[in-house]
A and B are shown apart, each in its own frame.
Chain A
């Protein structure tokens, strides 16, 4: 990787962040006018200059089919998990048991780690307790598991979730890494 591509990538990352902030600003106003757009641009530039973030580079590509597949499964999982937890909350006298499991992700990029962590936390009975960033391991607290077999089953669900995320936004190389893990298991 030589320097010019690095700088170009950096500029691209900043532009993505900038347009994201401008969109949020315009959504907050709720109406479009050039005044709103320009003031949003100024505010976003100031925010990016005053609060610089560590670069999170996106090296994959967006795959529409994968995105749709991820979104649909995410919604279904969110509803099922919510109903499950609500049901558990209403079941008086039932003591749910939990487990902390380590899940080794196939792709170790910061972006993948973050997205998997967010999705896992939002969906199926799970909470991230700790992350080993260098090794790409998520430590997940799983709610309402009866025994170790159920915990193992949950690990499979997280693998499938990661595969869907990579299938939606991953590069060809990352897709290969996920496929290799699938074979080795």
Chain B
């Protein structure tokens, strides 16, 4: 096997597994029971899925200009996805838009009841 076809093979594996993970994220969004569980689907397989697709694309393109842009896309995704998930999750928790019956324990409810939380 020549060098280019090995690179192509790795790129193909990255692109395909990235696509499968993104599909799983979409499926999880549809299937999981409440908003908080669905946010997990948005922050995890999708992040790795995107990173794999970026790596696959970088291997196929192979020019410096494109790779720097792809690296930035990856870096910003890692920095920003948790923030977005947190904002949505926090709003959902505070407005009670989640299923309490699915929780095994809830330390935050206890903390809020005793007034520990300063409500910022």
Contacts and interface: CB of A to CB of B under 8 A. Distances in A.
Contacts of B28: 85-86, 88-89
B72 A98 contact: no
B34 to A, nearest CB: 8
B78 A132 contact: no
Interface string A97-119: 11111100000000000000110
A100 B106 contact: yes
Interface string B86-119: 1001100100000000111111110100001110
A117 B86 contact: yes
Contact of A129 (B31, B36, B64): B36
Q: By DSSP majority rule, is chain B's interface helix, strand, loop, or mixed?
A: helix
A121 B37 contact: no
Interface string B18-56: 001100110110011100110111011101110000000
Contacts of B105: 99-101, 148, 151
Interface residues of A, number: 51
B68 A28 contact: yes
A134 B108 contact: no
Contacts of A31: 64-65
B78 A122 contact: yes
B69 A125 contact: no
A51 interface: no
Given A89-B24, A97-B102, A117-B82, A82 B49 contact: yes
Contacts of A130: 90, 93, 108, 117
A7 B91 CA distance: 37
B86 A121 contact: yes
Contact of B33 (A28, A30, A95): A95
Contacts of A97: 102-104
B111 A141 contact: no
Given A96-B32, A118-B78, 12 more contacts: A27-B69, A28-B68, A82-B44, A82-B49, A85-B24, A85-B28, A99-B103, A127-B85, A128-B85, A141-B36, A143-B37, A148-B105
Interface of B: 20-21, 24-25, 27-28, 31-33, 36-37, 39-41, 43-45, 47-49, 64-66, 68-69, 71-72, 78-79, 81-83, 85-86, 89-90, 93, 102-109, 111, 116-118, 120
Interface of A: 24, 26-28, 30-31, 78-79, 81-83, 85-90, 92, 95-102, 117-118, 120-122, 125-130, 132-135, 137, 139, 141, 143, 145-148, 150-151
